[in-house]
Structure formats: C-alpha cells, structure tokens
Structure 1
Amino acid sequence: MRVALLFIDGVGIGRKDPAVNPLAHREHLLSCFQDAPGPFLPDGGRCLPVDTTFGVAGRPQSASNQTAILTGEPAPALLGRHILGYPNAPLRGLMADRSIVKRLVAAGRTATFANAYPAPYLDAMDVPRRASTSPPEFAVTPEARRKMKPSASKLAFAAGGVPLRTLDDARAGDGLTPDITGAAARAYGLPAPVRTPEEAAHVFWHVASGADFTFFEHYLADEAGHAQDLKAALDALDTFDAFTRAVVAARPADARVLVCSDHGNVEDLSTRGHTLHPVPVLYFGPPLSPEEPFSTVADVGRAVLRWLRVV
C-alpha cells in the first residue's frame, strides 16, 4: 500500500455564502460547507471535517499545524500556543525527533517530496537537495538569506535525510512547481515548465511510483485569503481542484490519497486572518474502518504511519 498526501494551505469549512466564500462559486472537491451538503466525491471519496485548534486559544497558524500534520503530534497543545509562519526552535526540535518522514525512513519505507524549488533557495535554508547541473537561477544576498527559513514540510523531509527536488527535476518531468502549472514560477522569471493540471497529475504519479509516501504542497489559496482576493482565490482553487481530480482519477489500486489543509482562511474573504473553522480531510482509497480516528489535523500524519505499518 502507498500513501499520497496533497496539502493545500488555508482552506477551511465555511458557510455557503458566495459573498465571502469562493468555494461557494464552484463545486470543487473541497467545497464543503457548515450549512449545506458537500459535493459528490468521485472514487468513493469521503470528506472528514477535523479540528484545527487543539483546544488552544487563538487562531490556528501554519507553523504549528503543519508540524502537527507532519509529525502526527498535537504541536499547538504541546507548546500551549499557535505559532505562525515558520517553525520556531521547539517546533524544529519536535520535527527533528518525530517527523513522519524520519520515522518512515527509519522503518525501511521510502518517502519523497514532489515539489521542486530553485537550488539557491534550498541552499540558503541549508536543507538537503538533489544535484543540479544548471547554473543557479539567482544569487541569494546575505540579507535575503537571513530572511529565508524552512517551512515545516522542508524540515520534515530534512529530518528524514530525503533530498528535495530542484527545478532541474521539474524540467525533466520528475517534480512539480508548488503552483502546479508553473505559470506563477515563470512569472517570477524562473525557468519552470508550464503544464496543465492534468499533465501535473501525470508527473505526480510518476514521482510517486517509486515511494511508499509522496507529499505535495500548494500555498496560493492561503495567499489569496490573506489578500482577500476573490479572483486569485478562484484561480488557485480551480487549479488545485483540476489537479486533484486528475490525481484521484489516475489513483493506482494500491494507493490511498489524502487531501488536507492546516487551518481555515480562504473560505472567508471578509477577513484577512485565519479562521477557527474545521478543515476538510478528503480520503480516496480502500474503505475506511469505522474506527479510523480523524478528529484533528494531527490524525493525518498518524494515518500515514498507521497505513504504512509504522508505529
């Protein structure tokens, strides 16, 4: 059995109100609502609402909740607060010790990160990466280097000693830019390939063919939520939905697919901040046992370990 996890930053379960919720404009796989039925999910899929707060006061944040997903541990509850942005020292320590990638690798399983990044960016954060034969895409100044910090996902794979992909891999058909199509990357002047979401899904399963666990992350919906930008939100959600539908349609029989977020945001454009809403966890694969525990975002990481028989 293999497990694929598609992560999208900042998508919660809000009201079906087109005035504030871009998910109410479409019937996306992630168009789950508090006050209306959700969409039909293909391939026998299920939508599981899960908590993001861990009973901790304040608004859920990316650093602590992404750490929870990628360790299977209740990071905000362990720290007693939510941590925004990039993991701080306690979260980095938790990741170094309990990363699900580290635990999978230690148990003889294989894990891979489908995202591809510019080599100088990865080098500036001192995370392991694959070799790149192309000239550096840009030079990182000392000032810029001080501002670059690794996200929870990069720390999770670094803890397991798994090198990250570069744009060389993306151009070779062995990696994906975080924006899926490559258009945003090229708008920044990066030499990234341009793909349709369906072509990106084909690349995803090529990447996943050699791993027990494959992870992909997409963050443009969260950026659109903070900007309260409906058009940007719809563009990001449309692209991610088309990509996810193609990934699910091509799901091998021996694979489970999870789609999850870390906290709410884009489902309520009336505010720039994160929400207290639960987030949807979408599941596609063999039928889930009624006893499968999905109550917080940390249960996503625990499920990956359980399904791959790592305890």
Structure 2
Amino acid sequence: MTEAGNSRIQSEAVRVALLFIDGVGVGRKDPSVNPLARREHLLSRFGEGSGLPLPGSGHYHPVDTTFGVEGRPQSASNQTAILTGDPAPALIQRHVLGYPNPPLQALLAERSLVKRLVAAGRSATFANTYPVAYLDALKLPRRASAEPAEFTFPPATLRRLKASASTLAFAAAKVPLRTLDDARGGAGLSHDITGLRAQHRGFSVPQRTPEEAARIFWRVAEGMDFTFFEHYLADEAGHAQDFGAALEALDTFDQFARAVIATRPEDARILICSDHGNVEDLSTRSHTLNPVPVLYFGPPAPELDALATVADVGRTVLRWLAVE
C-alpha cells in the first residue's frame, strides 16, 4: 500500500471486528445433508451462487481453503493463515489439524497479525473468555481474575494440553486473554455465545441471549482497533454429523452476528469468515474441499473483490489498519 493509502485509512479512524466460525463452507443447497439449506442464515451461501441478500448492503465473497496443497484443509494451518495473513499450508507444505505444530507455532510467534498490529501502535483484543486453569497451564498471558483456578488438570491431561492458533496469535503480542471472571462481569463472552454450553460443563457463567452477547461484544470492542471472536461448535457438530447440534450452533451464531451487524458503530468494519468446510455436508465426518464464505459489513470496500484465500482475510485486516 502507498503512503497516501496508509494516511487515508488512518484518517478514516477505521476499526475492525472479525467474527470467526469454525467449519462452515459453501456447499450444495441440499437440506438432506446441509443444515444451512434448512435456514435463511447469513452463512446460507451455496455452490450455485444462491443465497438471500445480506442486510445493510453486506457483501459475500467465497474464498479458497486448500492453498493448492494436497489433502483436506484443517483448522490449525488455516486458522494460522487467517491470523497471520500468510499462506500457512503452502509455506509448510501440509495441512495440520487441531492445534498448531512447531512450524505453525513459530509462524504465529513471528507473523501474528495481532503482534504486527500492536507493534505498529494499534490495539487488539480477544472477546472470548477462558478458564484460569487452562490459561495458566499453558502459560498464556491473561487478565487478572478475582477467583482462583476453577479446577486442576490431571498430569496426563496436562501433558496433552495444547494452545489454539487464536490464543497463540494474541500471546505473541502479549495481549492478556480474558477469563471466566470477565464473562461473569460482562467484559467477555463464552465461546458458545449464550453461556449454556459452559454452564453444562460446570462453569459458573451467566446465561445470555445472542442479542445481549452482541452488546457485550461492542462493549469489549470499544476503543479497540481490532476485536476478534471465535465460535467452533459448528465444526464439532459437523464431525459428529449431528443435525440438531449443527442447527443449534448455526442458529445461535446467526442471531449473534445479526445483532452485531445491526448495532455496528459507523467507524467499524465487520468481517465474518470460516477456515474450512465441514458442517455444510453432514454426509461425511470429514472436512470438505469447498470454499468458505467471507461476509463483509461496513463502508464500501471494493478491494474485497480480490480475496482469493482465507489468508487474505488477515491481510485485509492489516491493510485496513495501515499495517504492512
């Protein structure tokens, strides 16, 4: 980007919100296998190009998830691509499932878009909250909590514990992660948005409607240049081939996303994206080779027409916030 382009973006006082949902691709409009075909969701985008118009002049862009690398796209490598803006699977020549391996960890430590934003004087925050015990076990930076660790991990579990791409991206910039204390205080969100899933797992967090969660999201985002939220239950439902769980996760995320969009501050740009396909084809437990939808809500952004892969989502965040 030119110096003039950087100055223009800075003068516009842009801030960016990224809502990430794991495992949602652009599939067939077939309600027998695709739960998105049973609903009129924001993410109900289909291979033949169909889908209802998005609210508020929103725009839809399908992007590649394979990077030309053999095999099925996976969470660790493609989330690293999103959170660095770099073509992670192509760089390491493989897809990595679950949690980042050492090469991906190194890439996040060096190239995290959060690290680059903070180094350039921008502010960033992660809206999700985590148990203190999880963050401390992985030695991840966190905000202060008035309550002690909710539990302790058995030694065998502790040895298997791994950090996600998102937590590593923020840890690379030493941005403190939010705890369940923040969820209780209205300063953060549980990964399931409503808190019900967390309650069922024994955590003391309040139950909220998706609309209430959206208000908290913008409260968290106040004064921040970049705010990130992730939701991974759709991917879990896809692996389980569970239509009921898929619809529940997609319904909740859609209500939350619509409320976030409806209350968007004028200076904010919203991106919604996924990392790979899965839940759009419940005929299989595996990830798909389908493209994923990138949705945009905000002032005109014709540059998004050039989006090609999920890595371009991260590059776009950096560009909008004038960080190269």
TM-score, with structure 2 as normaliser: 0.95
Q: 1 CA distance for matches of 2:233 and 2:182?
A: 22
Q: How far does residue 224 in structure 1 lie from its aligned partner after superposition?
A: 0.1
What CA deviation, in whole Å up to 9, does each residue of 1:124-179 have, x standing for no partner? 11111111111321112221111110000000000011010000011110000000
What's the counterpart of residue 71 of structure 2?
58
Q: How far does residue 35 in structure 1 lie from its aligned partner after superposition?
A: 2.4
Q: 2 CA distance for matches of 1:181 and 1:147?
A: 28
C-alpha spacing 1:121/1:21, structure 2 compared with 1 (3 Å) = same
Amino acid at match of 1:236: A
Q: Where do 5+ consecutive residues of structure 2 fail to align?
A: 1-13
What's the counterpart of residue 4 of structure 1?
17
Q: Is the 8 A contact 2:69 2:90 kept in 1?
A: yes
2:62 match: secondary structure: strand
Is residue 2:158 matched to residue 1:145? yes
Which moved further from structure 2: 301-310 or 35-44?
35-44
Q: How far does residue 292 in structure 1 lie from its aligned partner after superposition?
A: 4.9
What's the counterpart of residue 155 of structure 1?
168
What's the counterpart of residue 278 of structure 1?
291
Q: How far does residue 189 in structure 1 lie from its aligned partner after superposition?
A: 0.4
What CA deviation, in whole Å up to 9, does each residue of 1:5-44 have, x standing for no partner? 0000000000000000000000000000012511221111
Which moved further from structure 2: 28-37 or 234-243?
28-37
Is residue 2:177 matched to residue 1:164? yes
Q: How far does residue 290 in structure 1 lie from its aligned partner after superposition?
A: 4.7
What CA deviation, in whole Å up to 9, does each residue of 1:46-98 have, x standing for no partner? 01000000000000000000000000000000011101110000000000000
Is residue 2:196 matched to residue 1:183? yes
Q: Is the 8 A contact 2:61 2:305 kept in 1?
A: no
Q: 2 CA distance for matches of 1:26 and 1:209?
A: 32
Q: 1 CA distance for matches of 2:34 and 2:205?
A: 31
2:57 match: secondary structure: coil
1:135 match: secondary structure: coil
C-alpha spacing 1:291/1:119, structure 2 compared with 1 (3 Å) = closer
Q: How does 1:71-110 map to 2 (within 5 A)?
A: 71-110=84-123
Q: 2 CA distance for matches of 1:291 and 1:282?
A: 10
Amino acid at match of 1:12: G
Q: 2 CA distance for matches of 1:58 and 1:6?
A: 26
What CA deviation, in whole Å up to 9, does each residue of 1:182-212 have, x standing for no partner? 0000000000111000000000000000210
Amino acid at match of 2:168: L
TM-score, with structure 1 as normaliser: 0.99
Amino acid at match of 2:89: P
Q: Is the 8 A contact 1:46 1:282 kept in 2?
A: yes
2:228 match: secondary structure: strand
What's the counterpart of residue 8 of structure 2?
none
Q: How does 1:14-93 map to 2 (within 5 A)?
A: 14-93=27-106
What's the counterpart of residue 9 of structure 2?
none
1:281 match: secondary structure: strand
Amino acid at match of 1:300: V
Q: Is the 8 A contact 1:116 1:167 kept in 2?
A: yes
Q: Is the 8 A contact 1:294 1:300 kept in 2?
A: yes
Is residue 2:131 matched to residue 1:118? yes
Q: How does 1:150-299 map to 2 (within 5 A)?
A: 150-290=163-303, 292-299=305-312
Q: Is the 8 A contact 1:16 1:36 kept in 2?
A: no
Q: 2 CA distance for matches of 1:254 and 1:187?
A: 37
Q: How far does residue 293 in structure 1 lie from its aligned partner after superposition?
A: 2.5
Moved beyond 3 Å, runs of 4+: none
Q: 2 CA distance for matches of 1:125 and 1:90?
A: 18
Percent identical: 71
Amino acid at match of 1:173: G
Alignment RMSD, CA only?
A: 0.8
1:43 match: secondary structure: helix
Q: 1 CA distance for matches of 2:111 and 2:231?
A: 23
Q: How many residues align?
A: 311
2:97 match: secondary structure: coil
Q: 2 CA distance for matches of 1:51 and 1:146?
A: 35
